[in-house]
């Protein structure tokens, strides 16, 4: 669908001139004679860009701008101003207008400005589409089968609808980011944005203005006004990831904002009410980080109102098979592969591995497996070599409910024998049976093969 430009001007001659210029550039144009009509059209035809006169009877360009952004926050708007109203136009840009052009209108100005605005609109929509897609892809269920994970999820559900700060701890790859999104999605603020700040990824010099924003002229090079993450997270959730990696002076400033519920932009003197729910995460032990001087104690107490801890995957082996199955399904869909599950020996190998990179490592291993797999099921050979060849037998076996006892018995005997390097005496002792039984079973298996 071609983007539509909506031209708003109370003078018909102007509307027609603009239309002629834009149509010749291949742009689809609609027009409205006043703000009210324009708003109606914005709701109905969803233009990409509004090119509006500033001075109009009834609703002027500024009012239209504010009302229009309520309807479509991605809307680009260019204002046309005549005599001595440039200051108002500058004001309008602070309120979200994209640009302005001064009258008398010059064809080249119009074409260039409209082009640029349309390009930006396309970028913004593309970003939004990508983000929505990502959100959707990530909004999949939080998988937790083990008793510990069930308990964490239960607690998370209980605290989600409060405004209390939450501190999420756990090794890298255990799902802290996912849990933060889960909390936001189950909170009354789910329709507002969740804004993430990765405190280890931003250079110190930028972090302060990233968090709080700035006003024009706050420092050399600060041209317009910049929204900070606190601004963007208004009425939503602010996720502070890797909280212990933050500069300590800034930690003090953050604490003040969390305590007083207000802040100022850099170079600004207006006090702004902070209205955001804060979730913080760290892969360190926060108490230890306090002792070692990486985290201010007072900030720690302020954030640690509710603690959710995600245990490492090796401490919850019950989750491995379910997560593995889940990742096979999602990645098979993503890569359009017709793969339905995992072979039993592949599951055994997954259960035996210690997963130092936790769920992220498991997910990566299975995405790779899905891509490599040439059968209908992910097999042992498809797993990363280190996982597949663990030089020995697994310490645990996995059985679907309903697996025939004969099969359970056979896999159990084989795995135990492998573990004791074929020593039948030992295997029989471990399994609580006799060597005679083991020999008999082996003979049966040979026959039935």
Ligand X SMILES: Nc1ncnc2c1ncn2[C@@H]1O[C@H](COP(=O)(O)OP(=O)(O)OP(=O)(O)O)[C@@H](O)[C@H]1O
Instruction: Name the residues that contact ligand X, by CB under 6 A.
Output: 142-144, 170, 172-178, 283, 323, 359-360, 363
* Distances, alpha carbon 420 to alpha carbons 264, 414, 430, 446, in Å: 68, 10, 10, 21
Residue closer to ligand X, measured from CB, 18 or 323: 323
Q: Which is nearer to ligand X, 138 or 429 (CB)?
A: 138
**Which DSSP state fits 105?**
P
Could you write out the DSSP letters of every residue in 299-335?
A: HHHHHTTEEEEE--GGG-THHHHHHHHHHHHHHHHHT
Number of residues that bind Mg ion (CB under 5 A): 2
Cβ 159 to Mg ion shortest distance, Å: 19
Report in angstroms how near the CB of residue 134 gets to ligand X at its nearest. Answer: 11
Report the residue closest to ligand X, judged by CB.
175
**Cβ 310 to ligand X, closest distance in Å?**
7
By beta-carbon distance, which residue lies closest to Mg ion? 177
Which residue, 68 or 279, has its beta carbon nearer to Mg ion? 279
End-to-end CA gap in the chain:
62
Closer Cβ to ligand X, 64 or 143, answer by number? 143
Least Cβ distance, residue 328 to Mg ion (angstroms): 23
**226 touches, from Mg ion, ligand X, none (C-beta below 5 to 8 Å by class):** none
Tell me the closest approach of the beta carbon of residue 157 to ligand X, in angstroms. Answer: 14
Task: Give which of 83, 84, 90 is closest to 62, Cα–Cα.
Answer: 90
DSSP 242: S
Q: Are 97 and 78 in contact (CB under 8 A)?
A: yes
Binding of Mg ion at residue 357 (CB under 5 A)?
A: no
Q: Of 21 and 279, which CB lies nearer to ligand X in the complex structure?
A: 279
Beta strand 49-53 with 4-8 is parallel
- 69 neighbors 39 (Cβ within 8 angstroms): no
- Of residues 154 through 193, those in contact with Mg ion by CB under 5 A are 176-177
Residue 360's binding partner out of ligand X, Mg ion, none, with CB under 5 to 8 Å set by partner kind: ligand X
> Could you tell me the CA-to-CA distances from 240 to 163, 176, 194, 203, 246 in Å, in that order?
15, 11, 11, 15, 10
Q: Between residues 178 and 387, which has the closer beta carbon with respect to Mg ion?
A: 178
* Nearest residue (CB) to ligand X, 39 versus 243: 243
Contacts of residue 428, defined as CB under 8 A and 6 or more positions apart, other chains included, come to: 434, 435, 437, 438
Contact partner at residue 144 from ligand X, Mg ion, none, CB < 5 to 8 Å by partner kind: ligand X
The residues binding Mg ion (CB under 5 A) are 176-177
């Amino acid at each position: 669908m071609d983007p539509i430009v909506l031209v708003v001007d109370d003078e018909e001659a102007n509307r027609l001139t603009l239309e002629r210029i834009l149509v010749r550039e291949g742009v689809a144009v609609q027009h409205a004679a006043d703000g009210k009509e324009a708003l109606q059209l914005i709701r109905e035809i969803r233009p990409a860009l509004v090119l509006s006169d500033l001075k109009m009877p009834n609703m002027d360009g500024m009012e239209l701008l504010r009302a229009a952004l309520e309807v479509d926050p991605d809307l680009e708007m260019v204002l046309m101003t005549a005599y001595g109203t440039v200051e108002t136009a500058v004001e309008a840009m602070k309120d979200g207008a994209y640009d302005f052009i001064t009258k008398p209108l010059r064809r080249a100005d119009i074409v260039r400005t409209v082009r640029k605005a349309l390009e930006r609109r396309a970028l913004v929509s593309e970003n939004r589409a990508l983000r929505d897609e990502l959100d959707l892809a990530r909004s999949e269920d939080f998988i937790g089968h083990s008793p510990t994970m069930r308990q964490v999820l239960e607690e998370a559900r209980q605290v989600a609808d409060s405004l209390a700060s939450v501190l999420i701890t756990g090794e890298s790859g255990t799902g802290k980011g996912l849990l933060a999104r889960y909390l936001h999605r189950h909170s009354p603020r789910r329709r507002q944005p969740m804004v993430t700040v990765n405190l280890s990824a931003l250079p110190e010099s930028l972090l302060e203005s990233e968090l709080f924003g700035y006003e024009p002229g706050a420092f050399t090079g600060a041209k317009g006004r910049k929204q900070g993450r606190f601004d963007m997270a208004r009425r939503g959730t602010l996720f502070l990831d890797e909280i212990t990696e933050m500069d300590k002076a800034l930690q003090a400033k953050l604490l003040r904002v969390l305590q007083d519920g207000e802040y100022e932009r850099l170079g600004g003197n207006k006090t702004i009410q902070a209205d955001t729910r804060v979730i913080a995460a760290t892969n360190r032990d926060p108490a230890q980080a306090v002792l070692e001087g990486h985290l201010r104690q007072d900030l720690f107490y302020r954030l640690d109102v509710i603690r959710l801890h995600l245990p490492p995957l090796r401490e919850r082996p019950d989750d491995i098979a379910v997560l593995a199955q889940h990742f096979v399904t999602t990645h098979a869909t993503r890569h359009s592969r017709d793969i339905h599950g995992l072979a039993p020996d592949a599951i055994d190998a997954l259960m035996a591995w210690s997963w130092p990179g936790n769920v992220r490592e498991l997910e990566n291993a299975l995405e790779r497996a899905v891509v490599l797999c040439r059968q209908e099921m992910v097999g042992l050979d498809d797993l990363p070599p280190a996982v597949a060849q663990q030089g020995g037998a697994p310490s645990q076996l996995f059985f679907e409910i309903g697996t025939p006892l004969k099969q359970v018995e056979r896999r159990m005997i084989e795995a135990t024998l492998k573990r004791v390097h074929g020593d039948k005496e030992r295997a029989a002792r471990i399994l609580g049976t006799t060597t005679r039984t083991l020999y008999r079973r082996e003979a049966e298996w040979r026959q039935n093969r």
